[in-house]
Amino acid sequence: MKEDHLKHIDTDLWVDEYSDMLYNYAQARVSDHDLSLDLVQDTFISALKALENFEGKSTIKTWLFSILKRKIIDHWRKQDSRKTRPMSSYFAEGSMGPHFLEPSSPKGLIPEFEEKINNEELGGVIHECIDDLPGKQKGIILDKLVQEKDSEEVCKDYDISASNLWVIVHRAKLQLRECLESKWVNS
Amino acid sequence: MNCKKVTYLIEKRAIAKLNFWEKIQIRLHKSVCNCCRNYDKDTTALNRMLLKVANITEPTKLLDKLEKERLKEALRNEIK
């Protein structure tokens, strides 16, 4: 038997009000339509189950987003159970010397690109490159380098340490720089 | 030469405070490595470009009627 107070909840209203924004948030981070829809549905269901714990300290919207963020973290946990390895091993693997930046050694072309590109094109190009980032990297770059959120907040949202964040940003920026350079060279 | 470490420090510099030794490492390395000098220029420009994108609103996709109906149905079943 379900709790009585659930009967008073208009879940249709939740869907009308919040499903689009929750979906867009998830989609921007996991790049998968069906998965995003599932995450939104799971978020609503978890919210219903935990409704009695909702104390009204935050708005329903903030509360739903906090649940969705946890769902996204859980998704990545399941997908990639290995922990981000410690820093020492990050710097022990692969080429370290000048070959590290090959095959596309930076030629310092990006400032030129920055100068020439107009705002409409910029949005498209940057988002295409961000879309190609794997797993968590995408959301972390959006939150940390586009939205400029506090590092502490980002680490909490993604359940990572500060040094994990630095490594993830490094990896992502290497890829973004390469992506942007190739778009500029081929444009 | 350690380009991996230096590019990492260059990225860390943008989001955290570096200590004295880390700053020196970047400076010394850049004085001898053209690649990392260019990397620094590139990534600094890229950071500015990323910030600009924050003000360009992404087109939001709206879920269609059927998708919303399915969500509503699923939630109603939860309450029953």
H/E stretch holding A153? helix A151-158
Asked if the C-beta of B38 comes within 8 angstroms of chain A's C-beta atoms, the answer is yes
SS3 A59: coil
Could you identify the residue written with the tokens 């600094």?
B44
d(CA A2, CA B79): 7
Of A33, A55, A79, the position where a domain reaches its end is A79
Provide the number of structural domains found in chain B.
Answer: 1
How remote is the C-alpha of A10 from its chain's centroid? Answer: 30
Provide the number of structural domains found in chain A.
Answer: 2
Q: Do B2 and A96 touch (CB under 8 A)?
A: yes
Q: Which of A10, A23, A43, A99 to mutate to test the interface with B (most CBs of B within 10 A)?
A: A23
Q: In this structure, what CATH number is given to the domain that contains residue A73?
A: 1.10.1740
Average pLDDT over residues A61-66: 92
Q: Are residues A100 and A161 in the same domain?
A: yes
Q: Are residues A144 and A72 in the same domain?
A: no
pLDDT for residue A181 is more than 60: yes
Domain holding A112, by residue range, is 89-185
Percentage of chain A exceeding pLDDT 70:
88
Q: Are residues A68 and A93 in the same domain?
A: no
Average pLDDT, chain B: 92
Asked if the C-beta of A103 comes within 8 angstroms of chain B's C-beta atoms, the answer is no
Q: pLDDT of A46-55, one tens digit each?
A: 999 888 877 7
Of A79, A98, A125, the position where a domain reaches its end is A79
- The burial of A136, by beta-carbon neighbours within 10 Å (0-12 exposed, 13-18 middle, 19 or more buried), is given as buried
Q: Is residue B3 a contact partner of residue A96, using CB atoms and an 8 Å limit? A: yes
Shortest alpha-carbon distance between residue A132 and chain B (Å): 15
Domain holding B13, by residue range, is 3-79
Residue A84 in domain: no
pLDDT for residue A81 is more than 90: no
d(CA A160, CA A157): 8
Instruction: For residue A17, count other CB atoms closer than 10 A to its CB.
Output: 14
**pLDDT score recorded for residue A1:** 43
Shortest alpha-carbon distance between residue B23 and chain A (Å): 16
Nearest to B44, CA basis, from B11, B3, B6: B11
Chains A and B form CB pairs within 8 A to the count of: 164
Q: Are residues A93 and A66 in the same domain?
A: no
So what's the ipTM on this one? 0.86
Asked if the C-beta of A157 comes within 8 angstroms of chain B's C-beta atoms, the answer is no
d(CA A177, CA A16): 39
Amino acid in the structure at residue B59 = P
d(CA A90, CA B39): 19
Q: Which residue of A has its CA nearest to B58?
A: A123
Residue A119 in domain: yes
**pLDDT score recorded for residue A79:** 74
User: Which is higher by pLDDT, B47 or A8?
Assistant: B47
Residue B41 sits at φ, ψ, to 5 deg, of -60, -45
